[in-house]
Amino acid sequence: MSHIEAQEAGEGVGADVPDREPAKSMRRQMLAEFWYYFSENKGAVVGLVVFIAIVLIALAAPLIAPHSPVLQNRNALLIPPFWQEGGSTAYLLGTDAVGRDILSRLIFGAQYSLFIGVVVVVIAVTVGIAVGLIAGYVGGWVDTVIMRVMDIILAFPSLLLALVLVAVLGPGLVNAMIAISLVLQPHFVRLTRASVMAEKNREYVTAARVVGASPLRLMVVTILPNCLGPLIVQATLSFSNAILDAAALGFLGMGAQPPTPEWGTMLAEAREFILRAWWVVTFPGLAILVTVLAINLVGDGLRDALDPKMKRS
């Protein structure tokens, strides 16, 4: 008891408020801290540089591509890359079986791959977060039904399910993107649901409920911003998955249709020349490899930088 009385004499309400830095510099500080942890991971920095380069190439494709991606040159069929015998500097990475410049096709293909990645991730994230929020917040039988449906989707090999969906919807880039989003979205549902369930019983949520926040406001304004960390990482990793799956569908003839310069479709068209003209197959494959690797490295770095448990104080 005496401890409280002893305190009474020498305290003024609010005397313990130290002066702290204003908010703006705080945000910059948080950004600096984020960059500090992100740049610890050298692979992630390399990945980020490569990824930015790919984005720039895709944006500037019409300016930097030496040829049209669909223009066929009958005089230049299956020309090897310039450093090989018979190659020409007009076609730096050679030409394919109908005389189209491979370098130009790869440059325009970057547009498609990034477009696929962005659209698929946006669809999968939006739907996944909405469904996951409802499952986690409402709970009960709604949760059970949603999660069993997600389990069924997850139980299929993802590419096989996408293939079936495209076969049903009809081949084409748009349908391929829809199919891939559907295949990727259960991961977001699961992640969102898990974080929502952890957050919804925290006291700040109860406090918001006591002042009368509606369920929708609780879900979207109060809970969701606190669940975003793992979702950002998962979105990055899904980006590369989407590119890879789209390429696979393209290769199987179910994705982008010729003459679209999509990397997977290019691989499919070049299949029969594997032994005669290695460059037709190798360069699209390399492009996919480098892009996916770069994005995965960035995703790893993000995970390290955003996970509070990895931080040292």
Partner 1 sequence: MNAIVTAKDLSQIYEVKRGVFAKPLELKAVKEASFTVQEGETLAIVGESGCGKSTLARILTMIESPSEGELVIDGVTIAASGAGSDAKRLRSIVQIVFQNPYGALNPRQKVGAILEEPLKINTKLSAGERRKKAEAMLAEVGLRPEHYGRYPHMFSGGQRQRIAIARALMLEPKILVLDEPVSALDVSIQAQILNLLADLQERLNLTYIFISHDLSVVKHVANRVMVMYLGRPVEIAPKDVLYAEPKHPYTRALLSATPATRPEDRGERIRLTGELPSPFNPPPGCSFNPRCPYANDRCRSERPLLKRHGASDVACFAVDEGRLPGLEKDAA
Please say which residue, 36 or 204, places its beta carbon nearer to partner 1.
204
Please say which residue, 10 or 170, places its beta carbon nearer to partner 1.
10
Please say which residue, 13 or 63, places its beta carbon nearer to partner 1.
13
Q: For residue 249, which amino acid is it? A: L
With beta carbons less than 8 A apart as the criterion, state whether 97 and 78 touch. Answer: yes
Peptide linkage before 259 cis (omega within 30 of 0): yes
Please say which residue, 115 or 209, places its beta carbon nearer to partner 1.
209
Nearest approach in angstroms of CB 313 to partner 1 is 13
Sequence-distant (≥ 6) Cβ neighbours of residue 131 within 8 angstroms: 146, 150, 185, 189, 192
Half-sphere exposure of 169 (CA within 13 A, CB side): 19
Nearest approach in angstroms of CB 3 to partner 1 is 5
Please say which residue, 179 or 205, places its beta carbon nearer to partner 1.
205
Chain residues that interact with partner 1, rule: CB under 8 A: 1-4, 7-8, 11, 13-14, 16-17, 20, 22-23, 26, 202-204, 206-214, 217, 222, 225-226
Nearest approach in angstroms of CB 227 to partner 1 is 10
Nearest approach in angstroms of CB 151 to partner 1 is 18
Nearest approach in angstroms of CB 156 to partner 1 is 28
CA 205 from centroid of its chain's CA atoms: 30
CA angle 48, 225, 19 (to 5 degrees): 90
Give CB contacts under 8 A, 24+ apart, made by 152-155. 153/182, 153/183, 153/185, 153/186, 154/186, 154/187
Q: Dihedral sign, CA of 213, 214, 219, 225? A: negative
Please say which residue, 64 or 216, places its beta carbon nearer to partner 1.
216
In eight-state DSSP terms, residue 247 is H
End-to-end CA distance of the chain: 36
Nearest approach in angstroms of CB 44 to partner 1 is 25
